[in-house]
Amino acid sequence: MSTREVHVVGVPMDLGAGRRGVDMGPSALRLAQLERTLTSLGFAVADLGNVEVAVPESAARLGGGAGEPLYADAIAAACAAAAEALRDRPDGAFAIALGGDHSVSMGTVPGVAAGGELGVLWVDAHADVNTPETSPSGNVHGMPVAHLLGLGDARFTALWGDRPPLSPRDVVYVGLRSVDPPEREAIVRLGIAAYTMSDVDRRGIAAVATEALGRLSHAPRLHVSFDADVLDPTIAPGVGTPVPGGLTYREAHLLMEVLAESGRVVSLDLVEVNPILDVANRTAATLVELTASLLGKRIL
Protein backbone atom coordinates (compact mmCIF):
# COMPACT_ATOMS: atom_id res chain seq x y z
CA MET A 1 0.00 0.00 0.00
CA SER A 2 1.16 3.54 -0.69
CA THR A 3 -0.13 4.95 2.59
CA ARG A 4 -0.49 4.10 6.23
CA GLU A 5 -3.77 5.97 6.63
CA VAL A 6 -7.14 4.25 7.17
CA HIS A 7 -10.52 5.97 6.98
CA VAL A 8 -13.44 4.26 8.71
CA VAL A 9 -17.12 5.00 8.13
CA GLY A 10 -20.09 3.29 9.72
CA VAL A 11 -23.33 2.54 7.89
CA PRO A 12 -25.72 1.36 10.65
CA MET A 13 -28.40 -0.10 8.42
CA ASP A 14 -30.72 -3.03 8.97
CA LEU A 15 -33.35 -1.93 6.45
CA GLY A 16 -32.14 -4.49 3.93
CA ALA A 17 -32.16 -7.44 6.30
CA GLY A 18 -34.92 -9.75 7.38
CA ARG A 19 -34.36 -9.26 11.11
CA ARG A 20 -33.35 -6.42 13.39
CA GLY A 21 -30.02 -5.83 15.12
CA VAL A 22 -27.44 -5.63 12.35
CA ASP A 23 -27.62 -1.82 12.55
CA MET A 24 -25.54 -2.20 15.73
CA GLY A 25 -22.73 -3.82 13.76
CA PRO A 26 -20.61 -0.64 13.51
CA SER A 27 -20.74 -0.20 17.28
CA ALA A 28 -19.83 -3.86 17.84
CA LEU A 29 -16.83 -3.63 15.51
CA ARG A 30 -15.59 -0.46 17.17
CA LEU A 31 -16.09 -2.05 20.60
CA ALA A 32 -13.95 -4.96 19.39
CA GLN A 33 -10.99 -2.54 19.27
CA LEU A 34 -10.80 -1.99 15.52
CA GLU A 35 -9.03 1.36 15.85
CA ARG A 36 -6.57 0.14 18.49
CA THR A 37 -5.78 -2.94 16.39
CA LEU A 38 -5.02 -0.90 13.29
CA THR A 39 -3.03 1.67 15.26
CA SER A 40 -0.87 -1.14 16.64
CA LEU A 41 -0.01 -2.05 13.04
CA GLY A 42 1.25 1.48 12.40
CA PHE A 43 -1.79 2.99 10.73
CA ALA A 44 -3.20 6.44 11.35
CA VAL A 45 -6.93 5.84 11.76
CA ALA A 46 -9.55 8.48 11.01
CA ASP A 47 -13.00 7.37 12.18
CA LEU A 48 -15.54 9.50 10.34
CA GLY A 49 -18.45 8.26 12.44
CA ASN A 50 -21.67 6.98 10.94
CA VAL A 51 -23.65 8.17 7.94
CA GLU A 52 -27.29 8.89 8.67
CA VAL A 53 -29.62 5.96 8.15
CA ALA A 54 -33.37 5.92 8.76
CA VAL A 55 -34.70 3.37 11.22
CA PRO A 56 -37.47 1.03 10.07
CA GLU A 57 -40.01 2.66 12.38
CA SER A 58 -39.59 5.99 10.58
CA ALA A 59 -39.01 4.77 7.01
CA ALA A 60 -41.61 3.92 4.41
CA ARG A 61 -41.65 0.11 4.28
CA LEU A 62 -43.57 -0.35 1.04
CA GLY A 63 -42.69 -3.21 -1.25
CA GLY A 64 -42.45 -6.83 -0.26
CA GLY A 65 -44.46 -8.07 -3.21
CA ALA A 66 -43.10 -9.33 -6.52
CA GLY A 67 -40.66 -6.77 -7.89
CA GLU A 68 -40.93 -4.42 -4.91
CA PRO A 69 -37.87 -4.15 -2.63
CA LEU A 70 -38.52 -3.22 0.98
CA TYR A 71 -37.46 0.25 2.24
CA ALA A 72 -35.99 1.10 -1.17
CA ASP A 73 -36.06 4.90 -0.80
CA ALA A 74 -34.43 4.92 2.63
CA ILE A 75 -31.78 2.38 1.60
CA ALA A 76 -30.95 4.37 -1.54
CA ALA A 77 -30.52 7.53 0.54
CA ALA A 78 -28.17 5.79 2.98
CA CYS A 79 -26.13 4.26 0.16
CA ALA A 80 -25.78 7.67 -1.49
CA ALA A 81 -24.46 9.08 1.79
CA ALA A 82 -21.99 6.20 2.17
CA ALA A 83 -20.71 6.68 -1.38
CA GLU A 84 -20.18 10.39 -0.78
CA ALA A 85 -18.29 9.76 2.46
CA LEU A 86 -15.91 7.34 0.74
CA ARG A 87 -15.42 9.48 -2.37
CA ASP A 88 -14.30 12.36 -0.15
CA ARG A 89 -11.45 10.47 1.56
CA PRO A 90 -7.88 11.53 0.75
CA ASP A 91 -6.17 9.91 -2.21
CA GLY A 92 -4.49 6.68 -1.19
CA ALA A 93 -6.27 6.26 2.13
CA PHE A 94 -7.47 2.72 2.79
CA ALA A 95 -11.25 2.67 3.34
CA ILE A 96 -13.16 0.46 5.77
CA ALA A 97 -16.96 0.50 5.82
CA LEU A 98 -18.71 -0.95 8.85
CA GLY A 99 -22.16 -2.39 8.21
CA GLY A 100 -24.98 -2.81 8.58
CA ASP A 101 -26.48 -5.35 6.25
CA HIS A 102 -24.91 -6.12 2.88
CA SER A 103 -27.07 -3.63 1.01
CA VAL A 104 -24.61 -0.95 2.22
CA SER A 105 -22.23 -2.15 -0.50
CA MET A 106 -24.44 -0.41 -3.06
CA GLY A 107 -22.92 2.76 -1.60
CA THR A 108 -19.46 1.65 -0.56
CA VAL A 109 -18.45 0.06 -3.86
CA PRO A 110 -19.41 3.08 -6.02
CA GLY A 111 -17.72 5.36 -3.50
CA VAL A 112 -14.44 3.49 -3.81
CA ALA A 113 -14.83 2.87 -7.55
CA ALA A 114 -14.86 6.63 -8.14
CA GLY A 115 -11.07 6.47 -7.87
CA GLY A 116 -10.69 4.26 -10.95
CA GLU A 117 -11.16 0.68 -12.16
CA LEU A 118 -12.04 -1.68 -9.32
CA GLY A 119 -12.32 -5.41 -8.85
CA VAL A 120 -14.51 -6.83 -6.08
CA LEU A 121 -14.03 -10.00 -4.06
CA TRP A 122 -17.46 -10.85 -2.68
CA VAL A 123 -16.67 -13.07 0.29
CA ASP A 124 -20.04 -14.42 1.36
CA ALA A 125 -22.12 -17.53 1.91
CA HIS A 126 -24.77 -15.94 -0.34
CA ALA A 127 -24.59 -14.64 -3.89
CA ASP A 128 -26.69 -11.50 -3.30
CA VAL A 129 -27.50 -11.32 -7.01
CA ASN A 130 -31.28 -11.53 -6.83
CA THR A 131 -33.22 -8.73 -8.47
CA PRO A 132 -36.47 -7.44 -6.97
CA GLU A 133 -38.31 -9.71 -9.40
CA THR A 134 -36.49 -12.88 -8.32
CA SER A 135 -36.12 -12.16 -4.60
CA PRO A 136 -38.25 -14.48 -2.44
CA SER A 137 -38.38 -11.92 0.40
CA GLY A 138 -37.99 -8.40 -0.96
CA ASN A 139 -35.03 -7.88 1.40
CA VAL A 140 -32.44 -5.75 -0.36
CA HIS A 141 -29.41 -7.34 1.32
CA GLY A 142 -29.93 -10.22 -1.13
CA MET A 143 -29.70 -7.88 -4.15
CA PRO A 144 -26.60 -5.62 -4.02
CA VAL A 145 -24.51 -7.47 -6.63
CA ALA A 146 -27.36 -7.33 -9.14
CA HIS A 147 -27.79 -3.59 -8.64
CA LEU A 148 -24.04 -2.90 -8.83
CA LEU A 149 -24.14 -4.63 -12.22
CA GLY A 150 -26.94 -2.31 -13.32
CA LEU A 151 -29.80 -4.80 -12.90
CA GLY A 152 -32.90 -4.22 -10.81
CA ASP A 153 -34.64 -1.25 -9.23
CA ALA A 154 -34.00 2.18 -10.75
CA ARG A 155 -33.83 3.80 -7.31
CA PHE A 156 -30.55 1.96 -6.78
CA THR A 157 -29.11 1.87 -10.29
CA ALA A 158 -29.73 5.62 -10.57
CA LEU A 159 -27.24 6.22 -7.74
CA TRP A 160 -24.31 6.04 -10.15
CA GLY A 161 -25.78 7.42 -13.38
CA ASP A 162 -25.76 5.74 -16.77
CA ARG A 163 -22.85 3.38 -16.19
CA PRO A 164 -22.96 0.75 -13.42
CA PRO A 165 -19.84 0.63 -11.22
CA LEU A 166 -19.16 -3.04 -12.00
CA SER A 167 -19.31 -5.44 -14.92
CA PRO A 168 -19.53 -9.22 -14.42
CA ARG A 169 -15.80 -9.66 -14.98
CA ASP A 170 -15.13 -7.30 -12.06
CA VAL A 171 -16.72 -9.61 -9.47
CA VAL A 172 -15.40 -12.85 -7.97
CA TYR A 173 -17.29 -14.80 -5.33
CA VAL A 174 -15.47 -16.69 -2.58
CA GLY A 175 -17.17 -18.99 -0.08
CA LEU A 176 -20.62 -19.48 -1.61
CA ARG A 177 -22.78 -22.21 -0.10
CA SER A 178 -26.39 -20.92 -0.15
CA VAL A 179 -27.51 -19.78 -3.61
CA ASP A 180 -31.10 -19.35 -4.79
CA PRO A 181 -31.99 -21.00 -8.14
CA PRO A 182 -32.46 -17.65 -9.95
CA GLU A 183 -29.09 -16.53 -8.60
CA ARG A 184 -27.44 -19.70 -9.88
CA GLU A 185 -28.89 -18.97 -13.31
CA ALA A 186 -27.70 -15.35 -13.16
CA ILE A 187 -24.14 -16.31 -12.22
CA VAL A 188 -23.95 -18.70 -15.17
CA ARG A 189 -25.66 -16.32 -17.58
CA LEU A 190 -23.47 -13.36 -16.64
CA GLY A 191 -20.29 -15.42 -16.45
CA ILE A 192 -19.33 -14.31 -12.92
CA ALA A 193 -16.40 -16.21 -11.46
CA ALA A 194 -17.50 -18.10 -8.36
CA TYR A 195 -15.67 -20.29 -5.84
CA THR A 196 -17.96 -22.26 -3.57
CA MET A 197 -17.12 -24.02 -0.33
CA SER A 198 -16.85 -27.19 -2.40
CA ASP A 199 -13.97 -25.56 -4.28
CA VAL A 200 -12.36 -24.60 -0.99
CA ASP A 201 -12.78 -28.16 0.30
CA ARG A 202 -11.29 -29.73 -2.82
CA ARG A 203 -8.51 -27.28 -3.63
CA GLY A 204 -7.74 -25.38 -0.44
CA ILE A 205 -8.23 -21.71 0.30
CA ALA A 206 -4.72 -20.68 -0.80
CA ALA A 207 -5.27 -21.97 -4.34
CA VAL A 208 -8.76 -20.46 -4.48
CA ALA A 209 -7.54 -17.06 -3.27
CA THR A 210 -4.64 -17.02 -5.74
CA GLU A 211 -6.88 -17.95 -8.65
CA ALA A 212 -9.48 -15.38 -7.60
CA LEU A 213 -6.80 -12.68 -7.71
CA GLY A 214 -5.87 -13.88 -11.18
CA ARG A 215 -9.45 -13.53 -12.34
CA LEU A 216 -9.23 -9.86 -11.36
CA SER A 217 -5.82 -9.24 -12.92
CA HIS A 218 -7.29 -6.48 -15.08
CA ALA A 219 -8.14 -4.41 -12.00
CA PRO A 220 -5.26 -2.58 -10.31
CA ARG A 221 -7.40 -1.88 -7.23
CA LEU A 222 -9.44 -4.41 -5.25
CA HIS A 223 -12.32 -4.07 -2.81
CA VAL A 224 -13.12 -6.89 -0.38
CA SER A 225 -16.79 -7.09 0.59
CA PHE A 226 -16.72 -9.44 3.58
CA ASP A 227 -19.97 -10.83 4.96
CA ALA A 228 -19.59 -12.36 8.43
CA ASP A 229 -21.80 -15.29 7.42
CA VAL A 230 -19.08 -16.63 5.11
CA LEU A 231 -17.53 -17.91 8.33
CA ASP A 232 -18.74 -21.10 9.93
CA PRO A 233 -21.39 -20.30 12.58
CA THR A 234 -19.27 -22.01 15.22
CA ILE A 235 -16.80 -19.11 15.02
CA ALA A 236 -19.23 -16.38 13.89
CA PRO A 237 -22.57 -16.93 15.61
CA GLY A 238 -23.64 -13.29 15.40
CA VAL A 239 -25.21 -13.26 11.93
CA GLY A 240 -28.81 -13.17 10.77
CA THR A 241 -28.54 -15.82 8.05
CA PRO A 242 -26.11 -18.49 9.31
CA VAL A 243 -25.27 -21.42 7.05
CA PRO A 244 -23.31 -24.43 8.37
CA GLY A 245 -20.07 -25.39 6.68
CA GLY A 246 -18.36 -22.04 6.24
CA LEU A 247 -14.76 -20.92 6.30
CA THR A 248 -12.78 -21.97 9.33
CA TYR A 249 -10.81 -19.49 11.41
CA ARG A 250 -7.52 -20.34 9.72
CA GLU A 251 -9.00 -20.52 6.22
CA ALA A 252 -10.36 -17.01 6.65
CA HIS A 253 -7.04 -15.69 7.92
CA LEU A 254 -5.11 -17.34 5.11
CA LEU A 255 -7.50 -15.82 2.59
CA MET A 256 -6.83 -12.37 4.03
CA GLU A 257 -3.08 -13.01 4.15
CA VAL A 258 -2.99 -13.99 0.48
CA LEU A 259 -4.99 -10.90 -0.45
CA ALA A 260 -2.66 -8.72 1.62
CA GLU A 261 0.37 -10.09 -0.20
CA SER A 262 -1.12 -8.97 -3.52
CA GLY A 263 -0.71 -5.32 -2.48
CA ARG A 264 -3.84 -4.41 -4.48
CA VAL A 265 -6.58 -4.21 -1.85
CA VAL A 266 -7.64 -0.60 -1.20
CA SER A 267 -10.91 -1.00 0.69
CA LEU A 268 -13.04 -3.33 2.79
CA ASP A 269 -16.64 -3.86 3.83
CA LEU A 270 -17.35 -5.62 7.13
CA VAL A 271 -21.05 -6.44 7.09
CA GLU A 272 -23.86 -8.48 8.64
CA VAL A 273 -22.55 -8.53 12.23
CA ASN A 274 -25.61 -8.79 14.48
CA PRO A 275 -24.66 -8.29 18.16
CA ILE A 276 -28.11 -9.40 19.35
CA LEU A 277 -27.36 -12.89 18.02
CA ASP A 278 -23.69 -12.95 19.00
CA VAL A 279 -21.88 -14.46 21.99
CA ALA A 280 -19.66 -11.99 23.91
CA ASN A 281 -19.05 -9.98 20.70
CA ARG A 282 -17.12 -12.94 19.27
CA THR A 283 -18.13 -12.32 15.65
CA ALA A 284 -17.06 -8.68 15.67
CA ALA A 285 -13.77 -9.57 17.36
CA THR A 286 -13.05 -12.20 14.71
CA LEU A 287 -13.70 -9.72 11.89
CA VAL A 288 -11.34 -7.23 13.50
CA GLU A 289 -8.64 -9.92 13.64
CA LEU A 290 -9.25 -10.72 9.96
CA THR A 291 -8.99 -7.05 9.10
CA ALA A 292 -5.56 -6.98 10.72
CA SER A 293 -4.46 -9.90 8.54
CA LEU A 294 -5.73 -8.10 5.43
CA LEU A 295 -3.76 -5.02 6.41
CA GLY A 296 -0.49 -6.83 6.84
CA LYS A 297 -0.35 -8.48 10.26
CA ARG A 298 1.95 -11.49 10.00
CA ILE A 299 2.83 -14.44 12.20
CA LEU A 300 6.57 -13.89 11.62
Q: What is the pLDDT of residues 187-208, one digit of tens each?
A: 999 999 999 999 999 999 999 9
pLDDT of residue 46: 97
pLDDT of residue 114: 87
Span 119-168, pLDDT tens digits: 999 999 999 999 999 999 999 999 999 999 999 999 999 998 889 999 99
pLDDT at 63 over 60: no
Residue 89, SS3 per DSSP:
coil
The Cα–Cα gap between 121 and 65 comes to 30
- Residues classed as catalytic: 102, 124, 126, 128, 141, 227, 229, 272
pLDDT at 274 over 70: yes
The mean pLDDT value of the chain amounts to: 94
The Cα–Cα gap between 34 and 145 comes to 27
pLDDT of residue 80: 97
Model's pTM, two decimal places?
A: 0.96
Arithmetic mean of pLDDT, 57-69: 69
The Cα–Cα gap between 9 and 36 comes to 16
- Give 252's pLDDT tier (boundaries 50, 70, 90): very high
pLDDT at 66 over 90: no
pLDDT of residue 279: 97
CB contact at 8 A, 97 and 78: no
pLDDT of residue 2: 43
The Cα–Cα gap between 111 and 114 comes to 6
